[in-house]
Structure 1
């Protein structure tokens, strides 16, 4: 292929926004000559390169949009230390059928037992599978929704939030909520009900949620929707963080 023809082809690929094909075209052209590829094999190789590059770009965008605070995987989780949850149960959740079915996952237990680790790991699996994920602490979420009162943009923010397939709400119960925050969180749960999947972590058992929300009635209404289609992981035991800080015993 002469230089003029090659440049014209590259310009066409640029207009069509086929960046990866443009990057590998010269290499594939040489490969086609040396290996005598058919036209279909040559074209298929170029298309596969473009598809793979676009998949990677979309994955990177989804991962950035998810705002996961760190990289945690199921493979990194220490099931030998945390024996109150089975590997099989978590691996079943990692198949992500609960997301397909618009079901929720609630992880309950004291601080440091791995709730957030598993929530992030499930979120990462969802991102890798092509789902839109959003991670937030409950406190950050209610603060964010509080800010919408200034310009009356609550409904718009709620629609943006619910554009995600999975919303991870971490640390419910660490701080009590007033009536406005309680109402906002209830509306998130109510609007997500049977339409989106929520992953919620809490240090409080369900019977204590009445003291977290501004009223027992809002707590009950929230639990009613959250727990209708739900997978519950009740984690117990010692804290991972305390384990890591324990002094090494001297023999």
Structure 2
């Protein structure tokens, strides 16, 4: 397709904010024609691609907003290095049902036992399940609360924190044993 119809279609797809449609429609149309698929099957595939792409962008946005210090998943965690850590329990936590039940998780243990990696993995899993997550340190949280109080915006900050489904708060110090709190809003 060339000329005015192509320009008009591109304009409409941009206006409707359908970037995957815009990027993939010609290639997919040729592919569906070669496979002998009708227009409904073509549209179904195109809509599916748009939805998959949109969900991926939403996950990436939630991860960016969470402000994780590193992007670590539980897939990259070496459970064999810390045999006392209950792998099944951690993987069960990754299902995020505890967040829906508004329960809290506290990670206890000496430095180097994977508490932060597990917390990041649980936060990433929550982002992938469509939940809002925020990562901070205890020191940064205290500083932010004090600044908000001094600037008379404490109530706004409290509302902002309350709107997050999962708050991960790392300890301010590295004293053994360290405590990491993964908190759910009540």
With the shorter chain as reference, the TM-score category is 0.7 to 0.9
In structure 1, the partner of 2:90 is: 90
Q: Secondary structure at the match of 2:80?
A: coil
Q: Secondary structure at the match of 2:63?
A: helix
Runs of 4+ in 1 over 3 A off after TM superposition: none
In structure 2, the partner of 1:27 is: 27
In structure 1, the partner of 2:171 is: 171
1:97-246 equivalent positions in 2, closer than 5 A? 97-171=97-171, 174=173, 203=178
User: How far off its partner does 1:2 sit?
Assistant: 5.0
In structure 2, the partner of 1:55 is: 55
Q: Secondary structure at the match of 1:51?
A: helix
Equivalent-residue separation in structure 2 for 1:61 and 1:120 (angstroms): 16
User: How far off its partner does 1:66 sit?
Assistant: 0.8
Q: Deviations over 1:40-91 (max 9, x none)?
A: 1011111111111111111111110111111222233232231222111111
Equivalent-residue separation in structure 1 for 2:75 and 2:24 (angstroms): 35
Q: Which runs of 5+ in 1 are unaligned?
A: 176-201, 205-225, 230-251
The more displaced of 70-79 and 163-172 is 70-79
Equivalent-residue separation in structure 2 for 1:139 and 1:18 (angstroms): 42
In structure 2, the partner of 1:40 is: 40
Q: Secondary structure at the match of 2:89?
A: helix
User: How far off its partner does 1:119 sit?
Assistant: 0.9
Larger radius of gyration: 1
Q: Secondary structure at the match of 1:80?
A: helix
RMSD across aligned positions (CA)? 2.0
Identify if the C-alpha distance between structure 1 residues 28 and 143 changes in structure 2 by more than 3 Å, giving closer, same or farther: same
Identify if the C-alpha distance between structure 1 residues 121 and 13 changes in structure 2 by more than 3 Å, giving closer, same or farther: same
